[in-house]
A = this chain, B = another copy of it.
């Protein structure tokens, strides 16, 4: 995985797709600049999850964009995804790594400073800062980290990080400025009338913010 793959990270939610085929949204989003895609399906049965992941993988292969599966290591194996994203209630990192091997991407959600410190002890490929702001996309959500939390974690984390939760074009620049390598969005792209344009707009802000950060440092 390249650090840049985290720049604009799309997390899918079929419920929000409003009847539109998820693979079409993904393709438009990738054309607009999405650099990594995660499929998160907390309600689907294994068969449907597998079929969806296969369909999305075929789209992403054309664009050489990595596919990450949320939580379900079996689905990741079944479709030979590029990686797995685990949360604090999913399989332990060491168990997942042992099964997936050293070459697959494993990302870990951290919800507070303590978990970010623990992640520093693990050989994860990236961390997800979750949630940065409050969001309605996910249930069972922890207290938002806010920009201060992002800054603090990025001051000591040895891992690349993507921020997720309540992110849109209005706060993207602040998040990159706070030190995150990228933003992960769900509704900002999945619910957009034009996912390609929505991705383009976000990508421009990200690129601009990253250049400014490069000049500053």
Q: Does any Cβ of B come within 8 Å of A115's Cβ?
A: no
0/1 string, A70-101, CB within 8 A of B gives 1: 01111101100000001011111001000100
Q: Does any Cβ of B come within 8 Å of A45's Cβ?
A: yes
Which residues of the partner chain B approach A133 to less than 8 Å between Cβ atoms?
none
Smallest CB gap from A78: residue in B: B95
B47, B71, B77, B99: the one within 8 Å of A92 (CB)? B47
Which residues of the partner chain B approach A77 to less than 8 Å between Cβ atoms?
73-74, 99
Chain A binding surface, main DSSP class: helix
> Which residues, 37 to 69 on A, are CB-close (under 8 Å) to B?
45-48, 50
B47, B91, B92, B99: the one within 8 Å of A90 (CB)? B47
Which residues of the partner chain B approach A89 to less than 8 Å between Cβ atoms?
45-48
Which residues of the partner chain B approach A74 to less than 8 Å between Cβ atoms?
72-74, 77, 91, 99
> Which residues, 78 to 129 on A, are CB-close (under 8 Å) to B?
78, 86, 88-92, 95, 99
Residue pair A78, B91 in contact (C-beta under 8 Å): yes
Smallest CB gap from A50: residue in B: B91
Smallest CB gap from A72: residue in B: B74
A50 to B46, CA, bound (A): 17
B72, B78, B92: the one within 8 Å of A50 (CB)? B92
0/1 string, A13-32, CB within 8 A of B gives 1: 00000000000000000000
Residues of A within 8 A of B (CB): 45-48, 50, 71-75, 77-78, 86, 88-92, 95, 99
Top 7 A-B pairs, shortest CB-CB distance: A73-B74, A74-B74, A45-B89, A46-B90, A47-B89, A78-B95, A46-B91
